Amino acid sequence: MKRFVKNILIGAALLLAGCSSEPQTGTDRKVEELLGQMTLREKVGQMNQLSGGAWLAETAAKGEVGSILNCVDPAEINAVQRAAVEESRLGIPILVSRDVIHGFRTIFPIPIGQAATFDPAIVEKGARIAAVEATASGVKWTFSPMLDIARDPRWGRVAEGAGEDPYLDVQMGVAMVKGYQGDDLNDPTSMAACIKHFVGYGAAEGGRDYNSTMISERSLRNTYFPAFKATAEAGAATLMTSFNEIDGIPSTGNRWLLKNILRDEWGWDGMVVTDWNSAGEMIAHGFSRDLKHTAEQAINAGVDMDMMSYGFIQYVEELVKEGKVSEKEIDRAVRNILKLKFDLGLFENPYVDETASAKVDYAPEHLEAAKQCALESAILLKNSNDVLPLDKAKTILVTGPLADAPYEQMGTWAFDGQQEHTVTPLEALREEYNVIWEPGLAYSRDRNTKDFAKVRSAASRADAAVVIVGEEAILSGEAHSLSNLDLQGAQSELIAEVAKAGKPVVVVVMAGRPLTIERDLENCDAMLYSFHPGTMGGPAIADLIKGKAVPSGKLPMTFLRDAGQAPFYYNHNNSGRPCNGTETLLNDIPIAAGQTSLGCTSYYLDTGYGPLFPFGYGLSYTTFKYGNPVLDKAEYGRSDVITVSFELKNTGDREGTEVAQLYVQDLVGSVVRPVKELKGFQRVTLAPGETRTVTFDLPVAELAFWNIDMEHVVEPGDFKLWVAGDSASGEPVGFAVL
Ligand code: BGC
C-alpha cells in the first residue's frame, strides 16, 4: 500500500514535470522528478555502496544505501530490496552488484585466457551467459571488464585483463560490455558493466599491486585510454576509479581524469564508482587529511558513488553546509545513479524470482560455451615431433597438482562458481584413456617429493605422460604479485622426474599469469598453456590432447625467460640503440675485458634481448603459410581505407584455425612510435591443404596517435605493415600516407 501511494505521488509529479518546456527523455524526466523530492540525506544515501546482505535492511529502510555488493542470495537480496522499496520514504530500489569477472556459476577461462582466444564472439557469449546466470540470482551490476593494460606478469591482476595490447584490449572489452548489457539494459537478463580500473592500475611499479605509476599524458592517451574510450562509446554503464596514483594524483581524486577526459572530452554520461575504499585510501597516499577530506576531493573530482569508505555518508551534509561540496555536484552524482536504476528497470522490477537461478545455472549450453572458450584459449607452445595429439596412446600417466584441482582450475575471482560442477582434466582424460593417476604433489607450492619415485615408475608403464602443473587460484589476482615467476614448489622437478622415464611428456600449465617456464619446456615434448580454464577446462584439455580439437590460442602477453626482464612488451618504442641480434652475452665477455660500451644495444647480458615467446605466438597441430601481403595502393589519403590481402595456406594434414594478425609501424613520427602495433586479427579455419585469400580493411584513421602537440592525428609519412601468426614474424611491406 505504502509503495502504491508512493508511486502515485511520483506519477503525479511526473505529469507535472511533463509540462516543463525543457526537452527531456522519459527517464531524464523521471530522474529530475525524483531528485526534486529528495532530501540531502536521501541523496547521499544513494551515493553510498555497502558490502553485505539482509542485515543491511534497516539501513536500506532509512534510505542510507544506494547499492550493495557481495550478496548473491536471492532471498537476502529481496529482503534488502523490500526494505528499500517498501519502507524507505521514496522507495528507491537498491542496485545489487558483484564481481562477476569470468562467469557467475559457469566459470569461463580467466580473462587473460579469454583474450588468448582472439575471438570476441566467444568472449561476448561468455559475458552474456554470466549475465543470464547472475541476474537470475538478483545481481544487476558487475565490476567487469577490467581493461588495465598489463605489461608485467609479476602483477597478479594480469589474470583479470586482456594483457599488454591496446587493440586486443579494446576488442575484448567491447565484447564483454555487449555481452553483459545485451541490447537493452532494461532486459531482465541484462546487467550493467563496469569498466575498471580508471586508470593505469596495471602499470604499478615493479608489478607490486596498488603501487605508484608514472604515465605521461601521451602514454595514457595512446595506450591506457583506448579501451576505456571504446567501451564508454559502446555504452558501458559504469566506470570504477583505480587504487593507484599517477604522477602523484590518486585516480579517485583526479578531476582531470574524471571530469575533463571522461565527461568533457568523451561525453560519457554513465555512473562513476570508487574502488573498494579507494576514497578512504587517499589518506594513506598522503593526498587527503582525513575521511571528510577524501569525500570532498572524490566528489569534487567527479565520483558518483562511494564503495565502502563510509566517507560520503558521514560527511557530505557537513561538506555541503560548509560550502566545500556544492549541491550541484551531489545532484550530478545522484542523477547518474538514479538514471542507471531506471535504465535497468529496477523501479518496475525490483525483486528477483527466488526460483529463477535453479533454471539457468550450469545450463548445458552454458557449459558447452565455456568448453568452447577453454578450447580456443589454450596455447600450444611446443610440440616436438608432433607428439600431440596423443591419438595413438592407450595408457597414459596423469600427474601434477593441477590435474584434479576443481577449485584451483576456476582461477581468481570465481566467487560463485561451485567446484562440484568443475570437470577436471583427470576426469575428462579418463573418458579417453586408460589412466594411471599419481598426483606427485598435493598442491602447486608443495615441495614434498616423497612420491616422485612412484610417479617415475608409473611413467615408465605408460605410453605417454601428461603433467598438469601451474598456480593455485590464490597465487594470482588482486594483491598476489610475485617477484619470481618460476613454477612454484617442486613442480619443475616433477616434470624433470617424469622426463627421466623416456616416454613422451606433455605438460599442461594452468596458471593466472605468464610464468617463466623455459627450463620446463626443455624437459617436455609438448606444452599447452591453458591459463586457469574454468568449469569446463578438463574436457577442453582432454579434447586437445586426444586430437578431437586443435589448439588455436595465441599469447595475449609476451612470455619472459626470466622475471627480471619485466616489464617487456612487443609494442615498445625503440631506443637509440636497438638490439640487432649479434650482441655479446655474459659468457662471451673476456675476463678482465676493458671498459667499453661500443657496439652495445638495449638488452640483458644474461637473458639477451628477446622474450621466450612473443605476443601473438601459438602453434597448431597443423602448419600455416602466409603469402606476401598485397596492398590495394602504395599511397593513401587520410580518409582512405587500406585493403590488405594475402594467401593463407594450411600446409598440414589436418583442419586448423589460425589467428592471422595485422601489424603496422609508423616509421617516423613527431614523437617516437612503437616498433609494431596490432591493428587487426581474424580467426581463419582452413581444411588440410586449403588456401584462402584473407583480407583486412584498415581505415587510415586507425593509424592516428597523440602527437607532439597532443593532437590525435595521422601524420603523413612511411609505414610498414606485416601479416603474420605472431608479433615477431613476417616480412613487412611498405606504404605511405600523404
Ligand atoms: C577490486 C575491484 C573490485 C572491488 C569490489 C577491489 O578490491 O580492486 O576490482 O571490483 O574490490 O570487490
Strand, coil or helix: what is 624?
A: strand
Strand, coil or helix: what is 350?
A: coil
Ligand 1 centroid – CA 400 distance (Å) = 32
Extract long-range pairs of 216-224: CB within 8 Å, 24+ residues apart: 217/706, 217/710, 218/671, 218/706, 218/710, 220/246, 221/706, 221/710, 221/712, 222/166, 222/705, 222/706, 223/149, 223/166, 224/148, 224/149, 224/166, 224/199, 224/200
Q: What are phi and psi of 150, to 5 degrees?
A: -130, 115
**What CATH number should be reported for the domain holding residue 643?**
2.60.40.10
**pLDDT for res 14:** 43
- Give the amino acid at 722: W
- Look at residues 546, 573, 590 and tell me which one is the last residue of a structural domain: 546
Which atom of ligand 1 approaches the CA of 243 most closely?
8
Ligand 1 cavity residues, CB under 6 Å: 69, 99, 143, 196, 275-276, 478
- Look at residues 546, 573, 588 and tell me which one is the last residue of a structural domain: 546
> Is position 580 within any domain?
no
> Is position 11 within any domain?
no
Taking CA atoms only, the protein residue closest to ligand 1 atom 6 is 276
Render the burial of 285-315: b for 16+ CB within 10 Å, e for the rest: bebbeebbbbbbbbbbbbbbbbbbbebbbeb
Average pLDDT over residues 542-551: 98
Which atom of ligand 1 approaches the CA of 146 most closely?
9
> Is position 528 within any domain?
yes
Q: What angle do CA 410, 684, 648 make, to 5 degrees?
A: 140
Q: What angle do CA 609, 602, 379 make, to 5 degrees?
A: 30
Ligand 1 centroid – CA 276 distance (Å) = 6
| Residues 530, 382 within the same domain | yes
Give how far the C-alpha of residue 29 lies from the chain's centroid of Cα atoms, to the nearest Å: 36
Which atom of ligand 1 approaches the CA of 144 most closely?
10
- Look at residues 484, 513, 546 and tell me which one is the last residue of a structural domain: 546
> Is position 727 within any domain?
yes
Q: What are phi and psi of 94, to 5 degrees?
A: -85, 145
Give the model's confidence band at 23: pLDDT under 50 very low, under 70 low, under 90 confident, else very high. low
**pLDDT for res 259:** 98
Q: How far is residue 1 from each of residues 6, 7, 91, 139, 613, measured CA to CA in Å? A: 9, 10, 12, 26, 66
Is the pLDDT reported for residue 21 higher than 70?
Answer: no
Active centre residues (catalytic): 275
Ligand 1 centroid – CA 307 distance (Å) = 9
| Residues 538, 648 within the same domain | no
**pLDDT for res 71:** 97
| Residues 656, 518 within the same domain | no
Average pLDDT over residues 580-606: 87
Taking CA atoms only, the protein residue closest to ligand 1 atom 5 is 276
Strand, coil or helix: what is 422?
A: coil
Q: What are phi and psi of 319, to 5 degrees?
A: -60, -35
| Residues 632, 542 within the same domain | no
| Residues 502, 379 within the same domain | yes
**pLDDT for res 582:** 84
Taking CA atoms only, the protein residue closest to ligand 1 atom 8 is 275
Task: Give the count of beta carbons closer than 10 Å to the beta carbon of residue 265.
Answer: 12
Are 444 and 485 in contact by the 8 Å Cβ rule? The answer is no
Is the pLDDT reported for residue 657 higher than 90?
Answer: yes
Is the pLDDT reported for residue 282 higher than 80?
Answer: yes
For the chain, what percent of residues have pLDDT higher than 70?
97
Ligand 1 centroid – CA 242 distance (Å) = 9
| Residues 499, 635 within the same domain | no
Residues 245-254 pLDDT 10s: 999 999 999 9
The preferred substitution site among 139, 275, 306 for testing ligand 1, maximizing ligand atoms within 8 Å of CB, is 275
Average pLDDT, the chain: 96
Q: Which residues pair with 665 in a beta bridge?
A: 720
Ligand 1 centroid – CA 552 distance (Å) = 32
Number of domains in the chain: 2
| Residues 541, 632 within the same domain | no
Helices 311-321 and 327-343 sit at what angle, rounded to 10 degrees?
Answer: 140
**What CATH number should be reported for the domain holding residue 522?**
3.40.50.1700
The preferred substitution site among 478, 480, 481 for testing ligand 1, maximizing ligand atoms within 8 Å of CB, is 478
| Residues 501, 648 within the same domain | no
> Is position 504 within any domain?
yes
Give the model's confidence band at 584: pLDDT under 50 very low, under 70 low, under 90 confident, else very high. confident
**pLDDT for res 600:** 82
Residues 675-731 pLDDT 10s: 999 999 999 999 999 999 999 999 999 999 999 999 999 999 999 999 999 999 999
**pLDDT for res 669:** 98
Give how far the C-alpha of residue 438 lies from the chain's centroid of Cα atoms, to the nearest Å: 34
Taking CA atoms only, the protein residue closest to ligand 1 atom 10 is 143
| Domain around 533 | 375-546
Is the pLDDT reported for residue 12 higher than 70?
Answer: no
Torsion sign across C-alpha atoms 678, 682, 685, 689: negative
| Residues 637, 538 within the same domain | no
> Is position 344 within any domain?
no
**pLDDT for res 24:** 73
Residues 307-357 pLDDT 10s: 999 999 999 999 999 999 999 999 999 999 999 999 999 999 999 999 999
The preferred substitution site among 160, 238, 276 for testing ligand 1, maximizing ligand atoms within 8 Å of CB, is 276
Is the pLDDT reported for residue 360 higher than 90?
Answer: yes
Q: Which residues pair with 658 in a beta bridge?
A: 684
**pLDDT for res 3:** 47
Residues 421-444 pLDDT 10s: 999 999 999 999 999 999 999 999
Q: How far is residue 293 from each of residues 194, 288, 296, 306, 317, measured CA to CA in Å? A: 26, 6, 5, 14, 13
Residues 467-480 pLDDT 10s: 999 999 999 999 99
Give the model's confidence band at 609: pLDDT under 50 very low, under 70 low, under 90 confident, else very high. confident
Q: First-to-last CA distance in the chain?
A: 70
Is the pLDDT reported for residue 113 higher than 70?
Answer: yes
C-alpha cell at 252: 579517485
Q: How far is residue 238 from each of residues 101, 232, 244, 341, 423, measured CA to CA in Å? A: 15, 8, 19, 12, 34
- Cell 569461463 belongs to which residue? 108
Strand, coil or helix: what is 97?
A: strand
Q: What is the pTM of this model?
A: 0.96
State the greatest distance between any 2 C-alpha atoms of the chain, in Å, as a whole number: 92
> Is position 288 within any domain?
no
| Residues 541, 398 within the same domain | yes
Residues 526-539 pLDDT 10s: 999 999 999 999 99
Cβ neighbours of residue 110 closer than 8 Å, sequence gap 6 or more: 101, 102, 159, 160, 411, 412, 413, 476, 512, 531, 532, 534
SS3 breakdown of the chain: % helix, strand, coil, rounded to 5?
Answer: 35, 20, 45
> Is position 486 within any domain?
yes
Q: Lowest-pLDDT range, 46-60, 181-195, 582-596?
A: 582-596
Is the pLDDT reported for residue 19 higher than 50?
Answer: no
Which atom of ligand 1 approaches the CA of 242 most closely?
8
Ligand 1 centroid – CA 275 distance (Å) = 6
| Residues 384, 523 within the same domain | yes
Is the pLDDT reported for residue 10 higher than 50?
Answer: no
What string of H, E and C letters represents the secondary structure of 675-720? CCEEEEEEEEEECCCCEEEEEEEEEHHHHCEECCCCCEECCCEEEE
Q: What are phi and psi of 35, to 5 degrees?
A: -55, -40
| Residues 634, 492 within the same domain | no
598 vs 601: CA distance, rounded Å: 9
Ligand 1 centroid – CA 476 distance (Å) = 14
Give the model's confidence band at 22: pLDDT under 50 very low, under 70 low, under 90 confident, else very high. low
**pLDDT for res 717:** 98
